[in-house]
Structure 1
Amino acid sequence: MINRYRSPYPNYIHQLFITPSKHLYALKDRRLKWQDKAMEVKLDKIEGADKEHVVHYIVADHTSAAFYAEMRTNKTLMTPIEFLMRAWKKKSDFFFHGVPEHVIVPTAVSSKYPEVRGWLEQLGVGLIPPSSGFQAGIHQVRTWENDVANSISLHSYLEKTPCTLDNISVNLAKALRMANDGEINRPGVRMSRKQLWGMQVENRPPIRYME
């Protein structure tokens, strides 16, 4: 059992988040809208929500804080298995890939999608329940939500057209690259998430590819 989530090298532990947005939702014409007042939406009841809420899918490397993210709504949900298969595959346009040795899965996710446990076991990936240390990763979710909101605003300003569910993908890809290329906020560390993820560390095993 890993108690303090000590990760000696990248791809040792990943953190999974499937989080309904507290501020972003889609209108009937598919325009994305930000609401200042936080909306309390639970993952287990998201399908029955009155609004079409944005749902963030994020998997983050514990060592480097590098991450991969996708966005859906409560009307187009995907399973964590679908998401992780894409996140862990080698991609031509994004650096993040590789099957980790362990994954921290929130209780809300494992309860809604119990099949993820067996799938991870088949892959030989250890499943770690979240603890108080998991809260540090929540900050990354909030930061990403702000990045998405800024991308929506920038699109509307530059393109003079609303940002919708149909055209958000290009903006998300840019925001994801910028977030991982930015310098990480750690004492004594002057590297980006991407640089930390790719750093050669003693005893780091070869990257295990997702088939």
Structure 2
Amino acid sequence: MNQYRTEYPNQLHQLSVSVSKNLYVTRAGILKYQKKKMEVNLNRLKDSNRTHLIHYLIRDHTSGLFYAEISTSEDVRNIDDFLYRAWCHKDDYSFQGIPEFLSIPKTVQAYCPDILKDLDSYEIDIIEPKNGFHGGIGDTKNIEDILKLLHVEKHISEAYSVPQQACETNDKRQLRGTSFTKLEQWKKHVGQIRLPN
């Protein structure tokens, strides 16, 4: 699969794990916003003195549905566990099912060098993001905008539900070039859903 032309949901999922450039957490657990972008990424995270906000997001390429979580650099999530939660059946999320293909950015592979080996049991073909860009950038920005608007200066524990709210809002958006919402498109075309054991 050299191009990202997909025909049905769960054919290709795009993984994104990124560090917020503007949001961080104080020692007291308060979410803060900094206008000037911080020079931090996954590989420089351990060298930082701040507690950074980390975004975990996986997006279905065909429908645009996604599943997301946030954590802090003090409580880094295991990416394999995140993927398992994303692909499992969930009563409160539409997104579920193991894809045929998974796009993993090189930055994530460098940050989690065992990820390819750990994913062997899922029987997924791994591909690199087209042109080096990973999916979910816009979705991550939407989550950051909600956090900035509603949760800055509040305890981080109040922000953990924001990714789910963003997913639910995204599900109801009309899919470009169709008369369907993203969730309707996903349900209509998903076919058999393969769940993790």
* Same fold by TM-score greater than 0.5: yes
Q: Tell me the equivalent position of 2:166.
A: 175
Q: Tell me the equivalent position of 1:142.
A: 141
- Report the residue type matching 1:177 in the other structure: E
Instruction: Map 1:1-211 onto structure 2 (within 5 A).
Output: 2-132=1-131, 134-135=133-134, 137-152=136-151, 162-184=153-175, 186=176, 188-200=177-189, 205-211=191-197
1:35-54 deviations in whole A, cap 9, x for unaligned? 11111211012122111110
Shift of 1:134: 3.1
Higher relative contact order (Cα pairs below 8 Å, separated by 6+ residues): 2
> Within 2, Cα distance between the matches of 1:40 and 1:53?
11
Confirm or deny: 8 A CA contact 2:104 2:126 kept in the other structure: yes
Tell me how many residue pairs correspond in the alignment: 197
> Within 2, Cα distance between the matches of 1:71 and 1:138?
14
- Report the residue type matching 1:194 in the other structure: L
Q: TM-score, normalised by structure 1?
A: 0.85
Where 2:133 maps in the other structure, the secondary structure is helix
Q: Percent identity?
A: 31
Shift of 1:69: 0.3
Confirm or deny: 8 A CA contact 1:19 1:56 kept in the other structure: yes
Q: Which runs of 5+ in 2 are unaligned?
A: none
Moved over 4 A (4+): none
Where 1:108 maps in the other structure, the secondary structure is helix
Confirm or deny: 8 A CA contact 1:18 1:58 kept in the other structure: yes
